[in-house]
Amino acid sequence: MQGVITVLGKDRVGIIAQVCGYLSGRGINILDISQTIVQGYFNMMMIVELGSLAGQNFEQCADELQTLGKSIGVEIKLQHEEIFNTMHRI
């Protein structure tokens, strides 16, 4: 099971470090990462392997990432890959 993490907000030092630190603490592997900065605005997308992180754990993880985002002034969203697959793949 894969998840998509998007990070949006004003650029500052250490955003990637903070997010990656959290993921590594959780044992979540990053499969793909892309990042752009347009006029000081930070935009990152990650595809991560969630392994057996299902149900309650997924929601807790999404919650914790949101909280982490608030503490560093960006918006972090973890979504189950299925919403993108369903919309764009037949």
Partner 1 sequence: MLSKMEIQETNRMIAEANLDVRTITMGISLLDCAAETLPRFCERCYDKITRSAARLVRVGDDIALQYGIPVVNKRISVTPIAQAAASLCADAAQYAEIARTLDRAAREVGVNFIGGFSALVQKGSTQSDLALVHSIPEALAQTERVCASVNVGSTRAGINMNAVARMGRIIKQTALLTRDSGSVGCAKLVVFCNAVEDNPFMAGAFHGAGERDLVINVGVSGPGVVKRALEQVRGADFETVCETVKRTAFKITRVGQLVAREAARRLEVPFGIIDLSLAPTPAVGDSIAEILQEMGLDTPGAPGSTAALAILNDNVKKGGIMASSYVGGLSGAFIPVSEDHGMIEAVQLGALTLEKLEAMTCVCSVGLDMIAIPGDTPAETISGIILDEMAIGMINNKTTAVRLIPVAGKNAGDTAKFGGLLGEAPIMEVNRFGCAEFMRRGGRIPAPIHGFRN
Phi and psi, residue 30, nearest 5°: -90, 125
Task: State the nearest-atom distance from the C-beta of 73 to partner 1, in Å.
Answer: 18
Question: Does 32 help bind partner 1 (rule: CB under 8 A)?
Answer: yes
Residue among 15 and 50 whose Cβ is closer to partner 1: 50
Would you count residue 63 as binding partner 1 (CB under 8 A)? yes
* Maximum Cα–Cα distance across the chain: 40
Task: Work out whether 30 is an interface residue with partner 1 (CB under 8 A).
Answer: no
**Does residue 29 bind partner 1 (CB under 8 A)?**
no
